[in-house]
Amino acid sequence: MQEGLRCVKIEMENHCKDKDFEECAIKIYLNTKCACIIAVYRAPTGNFELFISKLDTILRKLYTASTEYIICGDININYLVDSDRKVQLEALLKTYNLTSVVNFPTRAHKLSATAIDNIFIDISKMGNYSICPIINGLSDHDAQSITLHSFNQRPPPNKVYVN
């Protein structure tokens, strides 16, 4: 483990329901900052209303203003097209100031391309970021890589003033 990096698994198994809402979460402490990373999965046949309800429940349980939140995973909602499900998810995440940052296809299949995998962050706090697809050929989904430039893990250098 990197020096100065402390992480804690968040026990959330009691919120999981196979295919409807599967998740794991971790809190990472970097000097004076804390980030909560939540990975979620909803199967294409999963109960969408249950997914929304359980996501809201865990966010209400975990949320503090001093923590940065990153939600990522395969939610099986195509963010390249408008839909009622996309609107519902965005409305929920907006209450926690979280925004989708994936704006490219994450799954290509024959003649179609969708963005069903996503990353959600608070761009007002972590707005200096870059994101790109990672095409590895190991899955029918491409990975996403996000770099949070403004979430520096090193403390600022001590300033020395000389008269």
CATH number assigned to the domain comprising residue 124: 3.60.10.10
Do the domain assignments include residue 70?
yes
For residue 138, the enclosing domain spans: 5-148
- Which range (9-18, 31-40, 67-76, 136-145) has the least confidence? 136-145
How many domains are contained in the chain? 1
The more confident residue out of 157 and 17 is 17
- What SS3 class is residue 87? helix
Computed from CA positions of residues 149, 82, 80, 92, in that sequence, does the dihedral angle turn out positive or negative? positive
Mean pLDDT of 31-47: 92
Do the domain assignments include residue 157?
no
Residue 118's Cα: distance from chain center in Å? 7
CA angle 89–135–47, rounded 5-degree value: 25
Residue 77's Cα: distance from chain center in Å? 14
Do the domain assignments include residue 38?
yes
User: What's at 140, amino acid-wise?
Assistant: D
Give pTM, 2 decimals: 0.86
Do the domain assignments include residue 42?
yes
Do the domain assignments include residue 156?
no
